[in-house]
Amino acid sequence: MNFALAILVLVLIVFRIGRRLYKAKYTVVKKVSQPTPWQTKLYTVWVFFVVNLKRVFRDRLALFFTFLFPLIFLFVFGSLSSNNQISLRIGLINNSSTAFAKSYVANLEHNRLFKINKGVATLAQANQSMSRGEIDATVELPTSFGTLVNGVPTGQAIIHYTHNNDQAEQTLASLMQTQFNVINAHYVKTSQPLKITSQVSNQHSLTAFDYTFTGLLGFSILGVGIFGPMNVFPELKKMGILRRLHTTPLRVWQFFLSNMLGQAVTGLLSLGVMLLIAVLVYHIKIVGNLAELSLFLILGIILILGIGLALGGWAKNERQVAPLGNIIVFPMMFLTGVFFPRFLMPQWLQTITNYVPLTPVIDGSRLILTEGKSILDLGPQLAVMGIWMVIIYAIAFRVFRWE
């Protein structure tokens, strides 16, 4: 709710500024007959901001890639994260007819740690399934399993596995031995001088989806900031629209500023929809201040937008911009924590990727959203973003071409 309120306030502020500029342009005032030069320039920015918004919301393809495409990834990775419980795929062959064996099989079938393949009924079928990787191991209960000796069930379960799945065998054997220890303790009382006790920590830990979601925010920012201008600008050049605009008093900074405002609004709307679905469907825990998150995401959108403005402003056509865009975008997608956490990378690669433009955006978003950090605590991230912003926009202004 706070995030949606922040977006609404931003839209109202922008609308208010535009309304004042409109009045300054067309309202007849007795003492001041003409608007100031800066009012005229800002009014021009407002006009092109409105034009950019209308272009986005009238273009179905742009709406798809701005709003629906990131949501597809959100649902896919959200579903994968929600089903990341540890489980073993096993085959179960029960050759015993004892009551204890039947009870033990029923307990295995209801245990969430095991996913039993019902299609495995014989050892030949089990070997075939294990060779194909359909199951991790097979549990065989011999005919003597569960036979009563002095009123106590006895027997030995057999685990079948392949050479390249020895870790699954060790895990399965450990889990089953733990179960047997509990059953054995019920029948045979033994003292246990060495024991283990557990204590829960009060610290909040991040889930896999916490990392995934902030990465998907970065993926959405990539789509809004780079693919938008990279596709639109060459098309405008091809149609001769930018050439005609060049004959007007419009300046490059006005054109860029109007695109910044437009992409910031559409980007925040897209990110707001993603956050709303993440809260309602996947129950993500929001710890930080959403107003600060909104401000930080705006800075991130503006930073990444500079890359799109540089690519789209430099390229003459789509064939020229597509290869260069892919060279820049794909490394950022796979090296900045978009699809998987960076802490899984080697240390030397983590050090290098700290200075990729999208990395501080994703890391800062995660620190605010899931760890409750203030935007004032993000000094390293803001410093890297500020340096890249100066470099990127210097290049964008330098290479921009109207035709």
Average pLDDT over residues 373-397: 91
CB neighbour list of residue 332: distance below 8 Å, 6 or more residues apart: 222, 338, 356, 357, 358
Q: What is the pLDDT of residues 272-302, one digit of tens each?
A: 888 888 888 888 878 888 889 889 999 999 9
Q: What is the pLDDT of residues 80-111, one digit of tens each?
A: 766 555 567 888 888 888 888 888 888 888 88
Residue 303 banded pLDDT, cuts 50, 70, 90: very high
Is 381 a residue whose pLDDT tops 60? yes
Domains of the chain: 2-81+206-399 (no CATH), 86-184 (3.40.1710.10)
Give the Cα separation of 66 and 57 in Å (integer): 10
Residue type, 207: T
Q: What DSSP state is assigned to residue 138?
A: E
Amino acid 282: pLDDT: 81
b/e string for 50-61 if b means 16 or more Cβ within 10 A?
bebbeebeeeee
**Alpha helices by DSSP H, 27-154:** 37-58, 60-63, 69-82, 99-110, 123-132
Q: What is the pLDDT of residues 139-178, one digit of tens each?
A: 888 888 888 888 788 888 888 888 777 777 788 788 788 8
* Residues 263/305, Cβ–Cβ less than 8 Å: yes
3-state SS, residue 40: helix
Which of 279-288, 314-323, 335-344, 359-368 holds the top average pLDDT? Answer: 359-368
CA 200 to centroid of chain Cα atoms: 29
Residue type, 145: F
DSSP conformation letters of 151-182: TEEE---EEE--GGGHHHHHHHHHHHHHHHHH
Residue type, 214: T
Sign of CA dihedral 336, 337, 340, 342: positive
* Residues 294/10, Cβ–Cβ less than 8 Å: yes
Q: What is the pLDDT of residues 220-272, one digit of tens each?
A: 888 888 887 877 777 777 888 878 877 888 888 888 888 888 888 888 888 88
Give the Cα separation of 130 and 313 in Å (integer): 55
For the chain, helix, strand, coil in percent to 5 are: 70, 5, 25
Nearest to 361 by CA among 293, 310, 311: 293
Indicate the average pLDDT of the chain.
Answer: 80
Angle at which helices 252-282 and 69-82 pack, to 10 degrees? 30
Q: Whole-structure pTM over 0.85, yes or no?
A: no
Q: What DSSP state is assigned to residue 194?
A: S
